[in-house]
Amino acid sequence: MSKRKCSTGMDAYVQKTPKSLEFSKVSQHVMPGGVTANIKFFEPYPVVMKKGTGAYLTDIDGNEYIDYLLSYGALMTGHGHPKVLDAIHKQMQEDGTLLFGTPHHLEVKMGQKIQSLYPSMEKIRYTNSGTEATLLSIRLAYAYTGKYKIAKFEGHYHGGYDQVLLSVNPPVDQAGPPRKPKAISESQGLHPNHLENTIILPFNDLEATNDILTTAQDQIAAVILEPIQAGYIPAEQEFMDGLRKITADLGILLIFDEVKTGFRLSLGGAQELYGIKPDLTALGKVVGGGFPFGIVGGKEEILNRSAPSAAADVFDSSQSKHSGARDVLFHSGTYNGHPTVLAAGLATIEILEQEIQQVFKRTTQLKKGINKLLSAKGIHSKTVGRGSIFNLIITDKENIKNYRDLQKSNFALRKEIDYHLLAQGIYTKPLNRYSLSTVHGEKEIEKTLEAYRKTLQKL
């Protein structure tokens, strides 16, 4: 492709990634939209990677990027960390198999480690993704309370299934009053009943949340929330304390979706920082060490609803007529507690126990550097987030408290910056949050800030 002046960040990106464009054309004949998950797509086409090492990705054109997407935050030890790879190889060699299909020692070893870091998780169950973890937590809440509605917060994402795929990114002009949001479907194919059975709450507004929950307390099994919305907009401490008291008083379970925040804000997640013990917790991403993985944990009396019984097995055709699978909450999965995944997850936790504070230090350094550069350019912005996650929000608003506040930011300018950064080898999906890892060091921070300087000069 001949060199030409790039008038926009997207032009610069397209000029740098011709093979990704060609791949995109071919992939559309294989997969709908050319991708296996909608989240992987961005306009005009996603960059296609072929290799990952440490803090870096290399695309099929041979361009190298510092990776701040990190598989949407999952890779907190970077790509191909030697200790994680060694743990995987060791498990395969010593066990002689990838999968037992039976109980094995790593299930207990990982469980005990999780219980030590998350005291609220008195009993646990393994799943194969964060989405499955939130799905199981809701089923447990239904079974325990005998109620069959849930409440979630506007702007919060808990997976791609029907009960929760509502009001994640709704048009503000259709989403109802700020203090009494309306349930808005985020996908075709959702049964209309979910618009009635999932109640939408306003994040960081305790008074309005209390009013909504009190009105429907006899119907709501649980409130599920991201304690840090989208991984970077934090709940206020007063709001979190109040929500814990309200749900307890009303007989509504409190579910923390810590799929994004588990291990990224502290080893004990957001609940450690806030000093809150939820009734149920869903974990995923980081704790899988790069593999599909999830964990549900919580109060023993709730988790025990899923304890198997010889007389209550959905697969047991010899069940008594007086007792059956309906008497126990069914949860199963061929790959639950996969030994290779648990080995990778345990190795990841061991690394973080030694290095997590350094990740936080580098994250703070990057945030301050970005803020300083944009401020010098006269751009009103802030880096919002805690721990090892943040997002760049271009706004003159002093406080970003929820989804509605976020919608008042300058997405167009942020996207333009992101495409210019992509063309200079700084990778995150446009408009997405930044996540750092143990392998993002001084050199990567300096390179990133230099790319910002060049980008701001172009603007």
| 457 exposure class (CB count in 10 Å sphere: 0-12, 13-18, 19+) | exposed
In the set 157, 232, 274, 427, the catalytic residue is 157
Asked if 213 and 244 touch (Cβ cutoff 8 Å), the reply is no
| 113 exposure class (CB count in 10 Å sphere: 0-12, 13-18, 19+) | middle
In the set 59, 67, 257, 418, the catalytic residue is 257
Cα–Cα distances (Å) from 162 to 176, 194, 195, 235, in that order, read 20, 7, 10, 25
In the set 152, 285, 382, 401, the catalytic residue is 285
Catalytic (active site) residue 257: yes
- b/e burial code for range 208-224 (CB count within 10 A of at least 16 → b): bbbebbeeeeebbbbbb
Nearest CA to 413 among 364, 458, 360? 458
Distance of alpha carbon 372 from alpha carbon 376, whole angstroms = 6
Q: Which amino acid, one-letter code, is at 210?
A: N
- b/e burial code for range 266-303 (CB count within 10 A of at least 16 → b): bebbbbbbbebbbbbbbbbbbbbbbbbbbbbbbbeebb
Nearest CA to 140 among 157, 155, 121, 156? 121
Q: Which amino acid, one-letter code, is at 242?
A: G
* Residues noted as catalytic: 157, 257, 285
